[in-house]
Amino acid sequence: GVLWLAVLRVTGAQALRVPFYLPTADAAAIAWMAANLPAGATVLASPTTGNVLPAYAPVRTYYGHAFETTDAPRKLAEADRFFAAFTTAAERCTLLGASGVDYVYEGTLERGALGGTLAGQPGLQLAYTAPGAAIYRVTGCTAAAGRG
């Protein structure tokens, strides 16, 4: 019994190919979210982080659990594209404008996908920052702001 559970945990962690724990920067940012964001606020994060956020903060995620997210395949593709390094500021603005997202989370996994940060992204206002993580409030994008 116990050995079988241990094997499942190890194989599950290997299948994810991401940390099986929350890095300190992410844990601190999520704690800030729990204390400061309005209950029910919608947060865009990487798919893996989006699956974890509602367990620790009273927020909704744009994409989280595949079986609990409405229109999951589309939202998964949009979340992946938003955090892809090749995505332009204009494409991110388009997604932000159409998604109804209130906040964007940028932690360990998101920065890895971005190859950097979202600092300077039109339509985002920094709400929280600490080494390794940031949370942005979505303020909206204009067509002119998204160019470039």
Convert the pLDDT of each residue in 45-102 to its tens digit.
Answer: 999 999 999 999 999 999 998 889 999 999 999 999 999 999 999 999 999 999 999 9
Alpha-carbon distance of 127 to 123, in angstroms, equals 13
| Burial annotation 93-109 (CB, 10 A radius, 16+ → b, else e) | bbbbbebebbbbbbbbb
User: Residues with Cβ < 8 Å from 25, sequence gap 6 or more?
Assistant: 107, 108, 130, 131, 132, 133
Residue 144 pLDDT greater than 50, yes or no: no
Average pLDDT over the chain reads 86
Residue 35, pLDDT > 80, answer yes
**Amino acid type, 81:** R
Strands 133-138 vs 42-44: parallel, antiparallel or unpaired: unpaired
Answer yes or no: is pLDDT of 146 > 70. no
21 Cα distance to chain centroid: 16
Please report which confidence band the pLDDT of residue 124 belongs to, taking 50, 70 and 90 as the band edges: very high
Long-range contacts of range 18-25, CB-CB < 8 Å, 24 or more positions apart? 18/48, 18/109, 19/108, 22/52, 23/107, 23/108, 23/132, 24/132, 25/107, 25/108, 25/130, 25/131, 25/132, 25/133
For the ranges 1-10, 34-43, 76-85, the lowest mean pLDDT is seen at 1-10
pLDDT at 21 over 50: yes
Compute the average pLDDT of residues 3-11: 47
Phi then psi dihedrals of residue 130, to 5 deg: -160, 160
pLDDT of amino acid 22? 82
Please indicate, yes or no, whether the overall pTM of this predicted structure exceeds 0.85: no
